[in-house]
Structure 1
Amino acid sequence: MGEKGAMAVSELLCFFITLAVAVIVGTVFYKLGFPAGAMVGALIGVSALNILTGWAFMPAAVKNLTKTVAGLFVGMSMTMEMVRNMKRLFKPVIVLVGVIFTLCLSAGTLLYHVTGLDAVTALFCVAPGGLTDMTLMTMDMGGDAAVVAVLQVLRLLSVYCISMPLARILGKKLGGFVHENPKSSVEKKPLSREEKRKGMVLAAVVALIGGAVGLGLAELLHFSVLVLIGAMVTTAAVNIKTGKLYMPKAVRRAVQILSGALIATGVTADSLEKLKTVILPAVFICCGFVLINLVLALLLHRVCKLDMATAVLSSSAGGATEAALAAPDLNADPSVVSVLQISRLICTTSFYPLLVQLLYQLL
């Protein structure tokens, strides 16, 4: 066997070891109920593997596949019902996205100046998007994805531990949404096995086409985030038109595991030393997001006339699914929360990297 053949076998073995560690540790963290457990577990497990042995390896093609599937899930959150709701919620969406972008970019700039973090890392640490998407974008733009992943997890924890209880308290004091019917007036018909199969195939084909177009544009424009955006745009367009796309939740967990493993392949002993410096940024981010949440909620309540519980939950920079599921229990309007949260997520995925690139050139 030649030198190239031996190297290929070695890389293949390292890939399978990396994948096995990521799946095992990611699954354990997910089962324990840790926030973003699949991704965080894979990140910790593969980081340990890489620091102790240096064996962690993921092929370049896995990164593009991961970004494509991540874009698929963001795009699938767009439905015709959401587009209809956008008409009456246009003003709250503009207020939410405009203010949260301004505050987060300002906070990221301040974080860059008061800590030793580079500009890209600092700006993505406070990005109000999805954990998987933001860490993948950080990698693409040359930032420290491990630091971003840690601080984004802390951001999510601050949302679950502070923002959701805050929505309940303020909703009781200042008024919450009155549920005339606790059950949705439009019950979704469960999909048959055949419908799920066809929906999965269609979703996969559409996302791969979008990802391939995005990859071509990314190579042309030297902006690799376009792979994720391409998959997101095509998936959203087809899902709005047909509403027939489907992908099991297990695939989302698989993407989170792969994303965690990808980030961890760049984690070394030096990276671990660098993580000790994020204590100040962590406190800054947790306090900052609670403050941003309150400012946005008051604006939505006063300017857009949303009830306070709905305003607080809609402006919390956590998971869109978790916020919508928690809405009925917190006396918030789940339909409004869903539209505003998903609008924030899609706008962040589409436009935040462009703003980061512009700011990076200025800083």
Structure 2
Amino acid sequence: MDEHLIMCAALTLAVGIPCGLLAKKFKVPAGFMIGAFVGVSVLSIATGEAWLPTETRTLVQMVAGAFVGCSLERSDIERMRGFLKPMVLLLAIFLLLNLVVGFLIWATSPLSLVTSLMCAVPGGINDTPIVAAAMGANAPDVTIMQLIRQVLGIGVFPIMIEAFDRLRTKQGHPDPGDAALGEDAKRVKSKQKSAASTVAALAVAVVAGALGKASGIPGLTFTASIVAVSVLKLAFDFAFIPKVVKKGCQLLAGCYLGTLLTAEGFAGLPDLILPALILIAGYTLNCFAAGKLESRLFGYGRKEGMLMASPAGASDMALIMEDLHVKNTDVVIMQVIRAAVVMALFPQIINLICFITGNPG
């Protein structure tokens, strides 16, 4: 690595990290990553001097996989019998939504098939663009589309769900979820939060991720890290990733993704207007339709069903639930499982579809 690249990397981090911290201070959704992404993107577009080694992408996937693996609890697995069917239905609906929206975007925009499908993945805003980049998709486009989905999930949908619930209540249709279905259900969380358990989780994630990367299968670095750390966590209760590590991972991911947005790529942003509208329409329809199915078939409340179908993350969902006075912990658990399953399986399905159709990344 020559001196110029070292200076570019230092400059990239010097710009991205403060921007991420500032965005978080102002309570921007996914502020660490988005702030770093925006700051480094501006640097990249304006100067062309933003740079981080490609190994950054691999490291972020490993750490992100470790965090997802640590998010599952033994109590979650024990309670899965009770909501296996609603979880399978929800995942099937999300997969169908992903494919329909992705193919619509591909058919109506200049984006490649792998980029279009990854834009519609209901995964984590921090993880999806990283995996997309590894699959050969346009990571900056995926990042922007995932940001739109995230803003919908934590900024628009809660307001929409609350307004819809009030309207239906005034019409004489009270929410059965107000009876506090599952109110007494508690997640029995691990008490293992030692430095040794953090080192163990990261070590396992790195080894498993390295093996996944060596396989040559796109997205398997992240998937292998999730699976390995999940086993460590659930079998031995010896895996913990503190929030500060996740925050650092978000900042690093934002910085790396910002380096991918060049002046040439920025000129193509108007091409995302129609894809964004398709994405918004698809996820809005899904929130109502899937939420109603979950409520009607499995007895969840109206707000509970819609929150389960919301594209927000599990950690965000906990706050959203409190704002909407929903106490059923199944909502959060299903969001955690959705994040893990989506990021573990959906990229592999997309990779297979692109291979079959002759449209690789």
Common topology (TM > 0.5):
yes
Name the CA shift for 1:9/1:241 in 2 (closer, same or farther; >3 Å).
same
Alignment equivalent of 2:246, drawn from 252, 259, 270 = 252
Q: Is 1:130 aligned to 2:124, yes or no?
A: yes
Alignment equivalent of 2:205, drawn from 187, 192, 207 = 207
Query: How many angstroms does 1:300 deviate by?
Result: 0.4
CA distance in 2, matches of 1:122, 1:189: 38
TM-score when scaled to structure 2? Answer: 0.91
| Alignment deviations for residues 161-208 of structure 1 (CA, whole Å, 9 cap, x no partner) | 3321233345553412434997876786876xxx42222122222212
Superposition pairs for residues 141-220 of structure 1, below 5 Å? Answer: 141-171=135-165, 173=169, 174-175=174-175, 176-179=177-180, 195-217=193-215
CA distance in 2, matches of 1:233, 1:186: 21
Q: Is 1:265 aligned to 2:259, yes or no?
A: yes
Alignment equivalent of 1:315, drawn from 288, 306, 309 = 309
Alignment equivalent of 2:278, drawn from 284, 294, 305 = 284
8 Å CA contact 1:171, 1:330 repeated in 2: no
Question: What SS class does the counterpart of residue 63 from structure 2 fall into?
Answer: helix
Read off the aligned partner of 1:232 and give its amino acid letter: I
CA distance in 2, matches of 1:307, 1:330: 12
Name the CA shift for 1:181/1:338 in 2 (closer, same or farther; >3 Å).
closer
8 Å CA contact 1:207, 1:232 repeated in 2: yes
CA distance in 2, matches of 1:185, 1:133: 28
| Alignment deviations for residues 68-113 of structure 1 (CA, whole Å, 9 cap, x no partner) | 0011111111111110111110000011000111122111101110
Query: How many angstroms does 1:58 deviate by?
Result: 0.9
CA distance in 2, matches of 1:170, 1:359: 37
Name the CA shift for 1:19/1:131 in 2 (closer, same or farther; >3 Å).
same
Query: How many angstroms does 1:226 deviate by?
Result: 1.0
Query: How many angstroms does 1:349 deviate by?
Result: 0.6
Aligned partner of 1:92 in structure 2 is 86
8 Å CA contact 2:69, 2:225 repeated in 1: yes
Query: How many angstroms does 1:65 deviate by?
Result: 0.9
Question: What SS class does the counterpart of residue 74 from structure 1 fall into?
Answer: helix
CA RMSD, Structure 1 to Structure 2 (Å):
2.1
Alignment equivalent of 1:120, drawn from 114, 117, 133 = 114
Alignment equivalent of 1:51, drawn from 30, 45, 54 = 45
TM-score when scaled to structure 1? Answer: 0.90
Query: How many angstroms does 1:18 deviate by?
Result: 1.1
Query: How many angstroms does 1:328 deviate by?
Result: 3.6
Unpaired runs of at least 5, structure 2: none
Read off the aligned partner of 1:165 and give its amino acid letter: I
CA distance in 2, matches of 1:125, 1:215: 22
Read off the aligned partner of 1:136 and give its amino acid letter: I
Read off the aligned partner of 1:58 and give its amino acid letter: L
Q: Give the paired residue count.
A: 350
177-186 vs 25-34, which moves further? 177-186
Query: How many angstroms does 1:326 deviate by?
Result: 2.4
8 Å CA contact 2:12, 2:52 repeated in 1: yes
| Alignment deviations for residues 204-244 of structure 1 (CA, whole Å, 9 cap, x no partner) | 22212221221222xxxx32311111111011111112333
CA distance in 2, matches of 1:107, 1:285: 6
CA distance in 2, matches of 1:49, 1:165: 35
